[in-house]
Structure 1
């Protein structure tokens, strides 16, 4: 496959590099090496505890997937929460449309749902009509799925199964709150932030599903890192109040003083968590439409509170200050940047150890499947055993646009 740029060619080399998974890995592993040397301010790293993490991940994986036929970690797993075959319901509604239009519709759903997926907070719940009650990521998935099926994101009543700029742009806070069942007694963290992302999405794309056309215009095979590049280029302008480099909003990128002066590019640690979560979630619809997504291990682990909480709860990451486990911190604060960076780097190590124990290769068990098997579920299980309601060991003051 020919080499193609990951993002726009009219951005500076620094911006282009900070948009790559290679940059994420390099900066996160730099911080892990400092942590292993005892040179980080906020966390002590205990590598001897990694075996406990691997044991837990393997136990959870074998319980959920006894044949080790593990799907990719993506939003599509959450749509079928509770064993309800909601995706089949979508497929039935899309019967008769072309494979290309089916892919656009599924990308519309995936993009909108992922952008609504940042942490819900501990109190919010979604009650599905005629069904169960769901919380956190599954609740947000089911809620956004039902809104999509009801045509909330489409401006064309005759074509409800789509999202378009007109409907996204006119979406009101009240309408979003109704769709997500938000009330004073059922509060959702970051509702306004989520609305900001919907409006931003409406400004940058005529419909999210046009990402399909952008990809296939360059061929029927795409590297996962290239796919992330498309996502970051197209959605970059929607992220609020973030670090700017060469007049470009970088999104989920934050400084850490251990890497250099915080005003400089060398100190910046990119994560692109929601963008990578979205990229993982685009793979299946694209492949159903005949587009091969290769080199999945080019993407990194997701630095969110389930994966990160797993390392804290099992003693790999030890906070140096008790404040980290008692106060909610903003994503920009250095302890959170440090925690997330160490999580990304440690997920690479865990994936290698899990593969070694299972005798599987990176091609057989890419990182995205280790996450699904895997680290995310293990983080939730350990948190549920440690604290009421399964709250994470470290709390982040979410604005609905990062976690």
Structure 2
């Protein structure tokens, strides 16, 4: 395996996470780990799973869940419009929706909300971003002609901060974090789509054609992730690179070297599975992907006391994603999500194949993180202050 293949793999993510965990046990990071808190935390996750999904019919943790808040499945509105198209084109359109939507999903900030006129409801945070991005796509704004249900290089290159502010209802009293960063990601996506080897018609959904040509109708999840990393790698702001390749969500710890996460890429990979299954394509090995180190899953570990700060003042400071503390917190989150996931699978009598981490996240840890945050702080803010530019978390 080449250095690049390794860094762009879940194996690298897990190796880095274990290294940081081992150093934490030796007292060499910003955190203490409290093993005795793991059992009660798993209890809380199990309780959350049973409350949210009493029938245990749990979907993957993906962007599609954010199109369904308020017990309204907006994906059905899209499916009704495209039902007469062939299954592959339907899948391409769903990817054309979900890929830009995931890129718009970085933390919204505590003050922003979206009012949906169709339901007369307000939605905040990830659900608000999901619903707003859904309506932006449905308007045709991501297509070259400004009206078609598709995303393409030309349409995405025309996205402006003003368009994002308009559709996301941004005002001085309704501020959204990182409008510029979100706009730049969509523009960068438009440029990435010019790679005709992966996107033959300049659409995000063309990645399906590339993967089917390579793997047929059975696609390994790791190949799906690598397709996302190869195809969308150029969109990320310049951080760490190797041989001219942008490594995306990978960061240099001052003591422990490069630590990779690929959080948004794995979140996107989870979000791409559902349309493939609906098109009759099999996806294998989903259990090989990792948990997602973001503020709900990572926040759960701090709020339940599994992790505590060595220096309590660290909990009051604001940290950038490149800081050693945030790298450590995210790595510990990956490692401990694997431990929680294994225990949840054990308690449910499920195999990792039957009940991969994507279901543990959706059924339990993400919602448990949100639930305990709401109990502990007004507005359900994270237990850690993160400076986001709209492209991380």
SS of corresponding position for 1:255: strand
| Alignment deviations for residues 272-321 of structure 1 (CA, whole Å, 9 cap, x no partner) | 11111000000010111122111111110000000000000001111112
| Alignment deviations for residues 7-61 of structure 1 (CA, whole Å, 9 cap, x no partner) | xxxxxx2222100011101111111122123232x11111111111101100000
Q: Residue 123 of structure 2 aligns with which residue? A: 134
SS of corresponding position for 1:268: strand
- Tell me the TM-score normalised to structure 1 length: 0.93
| Alignment deviations for residues 110-159 of structure 1 (CA, whole Å, 9 cap, x no partner) | 101000001101011000013210000000000000111111111225x6
Which residues of structure 1 form unaligned runs of 5+? 6-12, 260-266
Distance (whole Å) between structure 1 residues aligned to residue 73 and residue 242 of structure 2: 44
Q: Residue 370 of structure 1 aligns with which residue? A: 360
| Alignment deviations for residues 49-88 of structure 1 (CA, whole Å, 9 cap, x no partner) | 1111101100000011112111111111110111112111
Q: State the 4+ residue runs in structure 1 displaced beyond 6 angstroms.
A: none
Distance (whole Å) between structure 2 residues aligned to residue 197 and residue 301 of structure 1: 23
Work out whether 1:188 is the aligned partner of 2:176: yes
| Alignment deviations for residues 364-386 of structure 1 (CA, whole Å, 9 cap, x no partner) | 21111000011000000000000
User: Pairwise mapping of residues 310-349 of structure 1 onto structure 2 (< 5 A)?
Assistant: 310-349=300-339
Displacement of 1:246: 2.1
Displacement of 1:356: 1.4
1:232 aligned residue (224, 229, 234): 229
User: Pairwise mapping of residues 4-403 of structure 1 onto structure 2 (< 5 A)?
Assistant: 13-40=2-29, 42-131=30-119, 132-157=121-146, 160-205=148-193, 206-218=202-214, 219-259=216-256, 267-403=257-393
Displacement of 1:162: 0.5
Displacement of 1:247: 2.0
Q: Residue 10 of structure 1 aligns with which residue? A: none
Displacement of 1:258: 3.7
Q: Contact (CA 8 Å) 1:44, 1:318: kept in 2 or not?
A: yes
Distance (whole Å) between structure 2 residues aligned to residue 46 and residue 225 of structure 1: 32
SS of corresponding position for 1:217: helix
Further displaced range: 134-143 or 169-178:
169-178
Distance (whole Å) between structure 1 residues aligned to residue 254 and residue 93 of structure 2: 43
Q: CA RMSD in A?
A: 1.2
Distance (whole Å) between structure 2 residues aligned to residue 348 and residue 65 of structure 1: 21
Distance (whole Å) between structure 1 residues aligned to residue 188 and residue 32 of structure 2: 39
Q: Contact (CA 8 Å) 1:126, 1:139: kept in 2 or not?
A: yes
Q: Contact (CA 8 Å) 1:124, 1:188: kept in 2 or not?
A: yes
Q: Contact (CA 8 Å) 1:306, 1:380: kept in 2 or not?
A: yes
SS of corresponding position for 1:254: strand
Say how many residue pairs are matched. 383
Distance (whole Å) between structure 2 residues aligned to residue 97 and residue 193 of structure 1: 34
Q: Contact (CA 8 Å) 1:108, 1:208: kept in 2 or not?
A: yes
SS of corresponding position for 2:318: coil
Distance (whole Å) between structure 1 residues aligned to residue 4 and residue 386 of structure 2: 26
Which residues of structure 2 form unaligned runs of 5+? 194-201
Displacement of 1:245: 2.0
Residues 294 and 398 of structure 1, relative CA distance in 2, 3 Å threshold: same
Distance (whole Å) between structure 2 residues aligned to residue 122 and residue 396 of structure 1: 12
